[in-house]
C-alpha cells in the first residue's frame, strides 16, 4: 500500500461512552477494517482515538464511532485530520 494513500485522524467521542465497552468495540472494529492506532478513556469522560489507514476506511470507522456499541449514547464526535503518520503497530486499547 502506498504511504501517500494513508492518513491519520484523531477523534474525541462525547456522551455515554465509558463503561459501555466502547474501547473494546472500537478496537474490534478498527482491526476488522485493517486500521492501526489506539483508543483510550479520558479523565473528562470522553473517549479519544487515533487511527491510520486509507481515507475511505477511516470514514467507515468514523461512521461506526457516531453510533458506537449497543450500550453507548454518542452525543458528539470531533474529528481532526493529523499531518504526520505515526505508523502504529496494530490497534490497541490504552489506559
- Looking at residue 46, its pLDDT comes to 98
Q: Which residues are catalytic?
A: 23, 41
Total count of residues recorded for the chain: 95
pLDDT at 3: 59
* Statement: the pTM of the whole predicted model exceeds 0.85: yes
CATH topology of domain 3-81: Alpha-Beta Plaits (3.30.70)
pLDDT in tens, 45-79: 999 999 999 999 999 999 999 999 999 999 999 99
pLDDT at 2 over 80: no
How confident is the model at residue 53, as a pLDDT?
Answer: 98
Residue 83 has pLDDT above 70, yes or no: yes
- Torsion angle of C-alpha atoms 6, 85, 87, 2, degrees rounded to 10: 30
Domain ranges of the chain: 3-81
Distance of CA 39 to the CA centre of its chain: 6
Q: Which residue has the cell 505508523?
A: 87
Q: How many Cβ atoms from other residues are within 10 Å of residue 75's Cβ?
A: 11
pLDDT digits (tens, 9 = 90+) for 3-40: 568 999 999 999 999 999 999 999 999 999 999 999 99
Amino acid at each position: 500500500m502506498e504511504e501517500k494513500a494513508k492518513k491519520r485522524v484523531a477523534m474525541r467521542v462525547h456522551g455515554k461512552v465509558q463503561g459501555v465497552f466502547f474501547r473494546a468495540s472500537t478496537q474490534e472494529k478498527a482491526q476488522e477494517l485493517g486500521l492501526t492506532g489506539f483508543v483510550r478513556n479520558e479523565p473528562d469522560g470522553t473517549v479519544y482515538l487515533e487511527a491510520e489507514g486509507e481515507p475511505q476506511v477511516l470514514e467507515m470507522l468514523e461512521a461506526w464511532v457516531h453510533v458506537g456499541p449497543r450500550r453507548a449514547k454518542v452525543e458528539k464526535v470531533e474529528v481532526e485530520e493529523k499531518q504526520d503518520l505515526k505508523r502504529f503497530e496494530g490497534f490497541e486499547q490504552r489506559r
